[in-house]
Structure 1
């Protein structure tokens, strides 16, 4: 079997160890807003999760109150 297929599913050739690899782009130290992109994504995720949890709790409270009102009508039976 050819060495380029060993351990690979795509059949792409193995990288040449003598060939210089492209260096990754340097990351900027700070963004204009003062917060980096990763932290902004985490804050957005946790904010969205908190809002979703608050909405779910509000729906559950409404259901419990509705069922209570059905069992105990304001004018009585």
Structure 2
């Protein structure tokens, strides 16, 4: 999800994913580098957010989905999907 080096992602862009990891940690300071390396899905990220905050599972899902909306805008602006 954050540019796993072992993933076969045609959009893999090291600088872009490093920035996304920084933005994720700015939003959720409790995320470790290990968390960011191991999170592969939106569901996994939402589970971590739920487990480490007082948010309900539904609220954690909504928070992650909101953050991903910004991610999609950033990807579109970066030209990675061109």
What is the TM-score with the length of structure 2 in the denominator? 0.31
